[in-house]
Amino acid sequence: MGLLRRFRQGRFSRIIQKIFGKKHARIGIYGPPNVGKTTLANRILRDWTGDIMGSVSDIPHETRRAKWKTNIKIDNGGSSLSMDLVDTPGIATKIDYKEFMNTYGLDKEESRTRAKEATEGVIEAIRWLEDIDGVVLVMDSTQDPFTQVNVTIIGNLEARELPILIAANKIDADDASPATLKSAFPQHPVVPISALTGYNTEDLYSNMVKHFGHRRHKKKGAKK
């Protein structure tokens, strides 16, 4: 395809997107293990496609390979967002197989395999950062938000100038404190939700359309 033709098609498609409010983006669901990333991915898919992304579990690192679905369309009144959704493995700085044995009762072999796969999953999640247009960063609103994983992901995305939407999950829990998350990261929109019950997901969808709709020029690698 000629360059001029491609340029015209790109420009034409941007004009159409501007007029009709249709946008396409690759959105990654990120966060530490066990904050509800796959539960949220399942919720989004169930609401907009009737499909699901993957299995969920109370045992950390249930998702050890990135999974994705393409061409999901979210409508928000007059505007919409067409996206590819990537559910990434939880990012952690340490993985101890003994935790799976002692806390969750897995046998040694199973625990070691899970831990090995989890380390590969973390690497895969980090590599996906190169290929996404925006991130829904899922945090557990019952936990301290100032974890190094949260700070590192946010810093990395800010350096690339990619949009971040924080989903303050598990708002249905008694000890949830979304206000703590809001005060911790005031520079980004924080939407309190329960991916499990579906509470306030309409607000999340409306924020996703608004926030990820703009085409942005991402800085590759963001090396300093």
Residues of this chain that bind another protein (CB under 8 A):
91-97, 112, 115-116, 119-120, 122-123, 126-127, 129, 144, 146-149, 151-156, 158-159, 221-224
Q: How many residues does the chain have?
A: 224
Comparison of 51 and 144: residue with beta carbon closer to another protein:
144
Q: How far apart are CB 105 and another protein at their closest, in Å?
A: 18
Rounded distance between C-alpha atoms, residue 57 and residue 27, angstroms: 23
Sequence-separated (6 or more) residues with CB below 8 Å from residue 22: 16, 80, 82
Shortest separation between residue 94's beta carbon and another protein, angstroms: 3
Report the C-alpha dihedral over residues 122, 124, 126, 132, rounded to 10 degrees.
-140
What number of other Cβ atoms are within 10 A of residue 130's Cβ? 11
Whichever of 15 and 151 has its CB closer to another protein, that residue is: 151
User: By C-beta, is 83 or 129 nearer to another protein?
Assistant: 129
Contact residues for 42 (Cβ-Cβ < 8 A; gap 6+) = 52, 53, 54, 56, 195
Minimum CB distance to another protein, residue 156 (Å): 4
Q: Whose Cβ is closer to another protein: residue 64's or residue 170's? A: 64
Least distance in angstroms from the C-beta of 91 to another protein = 7
